[in-house]
Amino acid sequence: MRPLLLLFSVIAVGLIFISRLFYLQVYNAPSENLFADNAIRKVFDYPKRGYIYDRNGKLLVSNQPSYDVMIIPREVEPLDTLEFCLLLKIDKAYFKKKYNKAYRYSPRLPSPFLSHLSKEDYAALQEKMRKFDGFYIQKRSLRDYRTPIGANVLGYIAEANPSQIKKNPYYRQGDLIGKQGIELSYEDELKGIKGIKFIQKDRFNRDIGPYKNGTRDTIPQQGKDITITIDSELQAYGEKLMQNKRGGIIAIEPATGEILSMISAPNYNPNLLVGRVRSKNFTKLYNDTISKPLFDRGLKAMYEPGSPFKTLIALAALQEGTIDPATTITCRGMYNYGGTKPMGCHCGNGNRDLLKGIAKSCNSYFADAFRKTIDMYPNAKEGMDVWSKHIKSFGLGNYLGYDLSIGDKGNIPDGDYYNKWYPDFRWGATTVISNAIGQGEVLVTPIQLANMTAAIANRGYFYTPHIIKKIEGQESIDKNFTIPKKTSIDSRHFEPVVQGLADVYKRGGTAAFLKVPGIEICGKTGTAENFTKINGKRVQLTDHSIFVAFAPKDNPKIAIAVFVENGYYGARWAGRISSLMIEKYLKGDVSLKYMEKLVLEKSLEEEYAKPYSGESFSINDGTKFNVIEIPTEQPTEDESGQE
């Protein structure tokens, strides 16, 4: 028995040791990850971020070097803080604050201490840097915007925030990441891949040489250059036209869905958000809650479309066979549908067929067409569903799926929508008649309206609007952008509507004075009511000025939607801007100098100040009993001189 004591002890200890080894090395083993190994220092080499070119090959965005002072708190040795602060041009409080912040993030990982040094500061600092243990200079590249335009399109880059770092371990504290616009959408293409050097450390944290002789090191991979669909000249021109105004312009090439320009006003110079001034300027822009320069109105602002929507009412009615181009009604200045108050019309009274209806934007005609379309079905829900399906096939009422920030859905009501509103189901075409003239429950964004215009220009299909043209010279973009989306309207129904839109520019049309010599434009004016709350009271503001157009009529090259907030009737601002943009794009030069001068000089700032100054709006001063559409007469009063 006695010899067994040691024997069993040895075997037991052997088994315990092997179990412990198994626990440490197999069961509980940390994954073999050089990044988690604090015996290895990782030194990053940042690649060039991809350049951005416009559709004509003009360089819009390049890079400029920037130098960050980085800190590894654990390695900081006692230093001459006075000299250090003087060199960096900071005070001691900043030093303390940054040191503590970095220490809280991690004592052994690098954190940015002072970002974006100028070249001169860098030169002065570089020589003395070796004196300050725990600090080093990290070279990065910042964006250099070659033009002051397109801030809303190009977006900006900024330091990745903690949740982004957590989501994607590629990013480290202090790395730059696309936060908006192109920079965000094409971050993966633009960023390239960081190069890494692995350096073996000893336990005193000294470098003792490259890890495995540098065989695991990688060299940085440059970011890809991309070409976007924006025409920078058109974009610049549009931004100029929109000065002193608020609103958006979207121009699309109908044959491809490429976005030619995307203007949101007011705008800002993208260089404001680069480097050390970034956070100061960003706060300033962000806090401007009145003009909201960071709010991309082209994608995100939802408006009632107003009269341009009548084209879709006509197309749905034609498709459903409730009207044909020859259908005629007689307008007597109002449309009496049995409600408490008839719907007003300003088309100037008379017999209206489809073409005239569009050209004169006759409310009565489209209210009638809409009502007939809904009433064709046994109940209002069914009719509304069919109608809604037709409208949505133009990309309205849902996200379009373009390669920019997601934007907004807008709203196209269907049967269920009203069933919820009227729980007793007692509603019908006349209850929702406002939709017929693009008001009521219909909401669209400018880009949706531009896309709708492109679909009409193409006579029945569209390509999802997109901003990307080429990546590193390769035209292989997302398939979603190269497959045409068909609308539910047969192409034969488009011809009369297109003719009606062309007639808008002819004698008696609502945009007759906006003709551009030598170009046959198809367009449609629009105004939309809008309201705000002042001291808790609902107050109607001056209408938004809306215009959609495409040109030339045959084989169209550009489709455009323009919104000018509180610009009053459609032709006054949006219409003029459309004509100028179309001429600029198609001819390269503008002949309508007088019109250009007028648009550039007249400011709407006074209008925008009204809700704050308490001045009354002419629109609700009691002189008009309704405020739905103000088309032809007024434009001819004050603009006839130009004709």
Partner 1 sequence: MSPDRNRNYNFDWISILIYILLVGFGWVNILSASHNGEVTSYFDINQPFGKQSIFIILSIVLIVLILSIEAKFYERFSSIIYILSIVSLVGLFLFGKTVSGATSWYGIGGFTIQPSEFAKVATSLAVAKYISDLQTNIKLFKDQVRLFAIICIPAILILLQNDAGSTIVYSAFFFVLYREGLPQLYLLVAVILILVSVLTLKFGILSAVLITATVILLSHFFGTKKRPSIFQPISIIILSIGLAFGVKFFYNSILQPHQQNRISLWLRLEKDQVKLEKMKKTILYNLNESEKAIGSGGFNGKGFMEGTRTTGKFVPEQHTDYIFSTVGEEWGFIGSALVVILFVLLILRILQRAELQKSQFSRVYGYAVASIFFIHFLINIGMVMGLIPTVGIPLPFLSYGGSGIFAYTLLLFIFIRLDSNRINEW
Residue number, 25 or 328, with CB nearest to partner 1: 25
State yes or no: residue 106 binds partner 1 (CB under 8 A): no
CB half-sphere exposure, 108, CA atoms < 13 A? 13
Name the token pair of 329.
């009604």
Bridge partners for 227 per DSSP: 53, 470
Determine if 93 is a binding residue for partner 1 (CB under 8 A).
no
Element (H, E) at 585: helix 576-587
Please tell me whether residue 215 binds partner 1 under the rule CB under 8 A: no
What is the nearest approach in angstroms of partner 1 to the Cβ of residue 8? Answer: 11
Which of residues 14 and 518 has its CB atom nearest to partner 1 in the complex? 14
Contacts of 13 by beta carbon, 8 Å cutoff, 6+ apart: none
Q: Which of 156, 232, 227, 168 minimizes the C-alpha distance to 194?
A: 168
Q: Please state, in angstroms and as integers, the Cα–Cα distance from residue 187 to each residue in 226, 279, 431, following that order.
A: 11, 21, 48
In angstroms, give the least distance from the CB of 207 to partner 1.
Answer: 10
Between the CA atoms of 562, 566, 571 and 576, what dihedral angle is there, to the nearest 10 degrees? -60
Please state the closest distance from residue 172 (CB atom) to partner 1, in A. Answer: 20
Q: List binders of partner 1 among 170-209 (CB under 8 A).
A: 200-203, 208-209
Q: Is 530 exposed, middle or buried, given 0-12, 13-18 or 19+ CB atoms closer than 10 A?
A: middle
Q: Which of 35, 39, 167, 638 binds partner 1 (CB under 8 A)?
A: 39
Which of these ranges, 11-19, 136-144, 224-232, 555-563, lies near partner 1 under the rule CB under 8 A?
A: 11-19
Helix or strand run (H / E) with residue 580: helix 576-587
Selected from 67, 145, 211, 402, the binder of partner 1 by CB under 8 A is 211
The angle subtended at Cα 405 by Cα 292 and Cα 187, nearest 5°, is 120
Interface stretch with partner 1, choices 20-28, 120-128, 442-450, 529-537 (CB under 8 A): 20-28
CB-nearer residue toward partner 1: 203 or 507: 203
Is residue 417 within a helix (H) or strand (E), and if so which, with residue range? helix 415-421
For the bound state, the minimum distance from the C-beta of residue 11 to partner 1, rounded and expressed in Å, comes to 7
Say how far apart CA 623 and CA 625 lie, in whole Å: 7
Nearer to partner 1, 4 or 93 (CB): 4
Q: Which of 35-43, 136-144, 223-231, 269-277 is the region at the interface with partner 1 (rule: CB under 8 A)?
A: 35-43
By CB under 8 A, tell whether 30 contacts partner 1. Answer: yes
Helix (H, G, I), strand (E, B) or coil at 231: coil
The contact pattern for partner 1, residues 605-634, with x = CB under 8 A and - = no contact, is ------------------------------
Burial class (CB in 10 A: 0-12, 13-18, 19+), 312: buried
Nearer to partner 1, 8 or 594 (CB): 8
Q: How far is the CB of 13 from partner 1 (least distance, A)?
A: 5
- Say whether residue 21 binds partner 1 (CB under 8 A): yes
Alpha helices in 49-185 (DSSP H): 81-88, 92-105, 119-128, 151-154, 162-167, 181-185
Residue 26 binding partner 1, by CB under 8 A? yes
Judged by CB under 8 A, the number of residues near partner 1 is: 34
For residue 398, give every residue at least 6 positions away whose Cβ sits within 8 Å of its Cβ, in sequence order, or none. 392, 409, 410
Distance of CA 243 to the CA centre of its chain: 19
- Does the protein bind partner 1 through residue 74 (CB under 8 A)? no
For the chain, the first-to-last Cα distance in angstroms comes to 122
Residue 44 CB, nearest approach to partner 1 (Å):
19
Using CB under 8 A as the binding rule, whether residue 7 contacts partner 1 is answered as yes
Select 200 or 499, whichever has its Cβ closest to partner 1: 200
Q: Which amino acid is at 400?
A: L
Site for partner 1 in 298-317 (CB under 8 A): none
Q: Which of 89, 212, 216, 506 binds partner 1 (CB under 8 A)?
A: 212
At its nearest, how many Å lie between partner 1 and the CB of residue 474? 41
- Which region among 6-14, 286-294, 434-442, 588-596 touches partner 1 (by CB under 8 A)? 6-14
Q: Interface with partner 1 includes 382 (CB under 8 A)?
A: no
Q: How far is the CB of 137 from partner 1 (least distance, A)?
A: 25
Chain positions 510 to 539 lying near partner 1, rule: CB under 8 A, are none
The contact mask relative to partner 1 for 394-413 (x = CB under 8 A, - = no) is --------------------
Contacts of 210 (CB under 8 A, 6+ apart): 197, 198, 199, 200, 217
User: Of the two residues 208 and 534, which places its CB atom closer to partner 1 in the complex?
Assistant: 208
- Told to check if 9 binds partner 1 by CB under 8 A, we report yes
Question: Among 338, 335, 314, 514, which Cα is nearest to 394's?
Answer: 314
Distance of alpha carbon 39 from alpha carbon 211, whole angstroms:
10
The residues, any chain, with a CB within 8 Å of residue 204's CB and separated by 6 or more, are none
CB of 134 to partner 1, least distance (A): 18
Give yes or no for residue 3 binding partner 1 (CB under 8 A). Answer: yes
Q: Contact positions toward partner 1, by CB under 8 A?
A: 2-3, 5-7, 9-11, 13-14, 16-18, 20-22, 24-26, 28-30, 32, 37, 39-40, 200-203, 208-209, 211-212
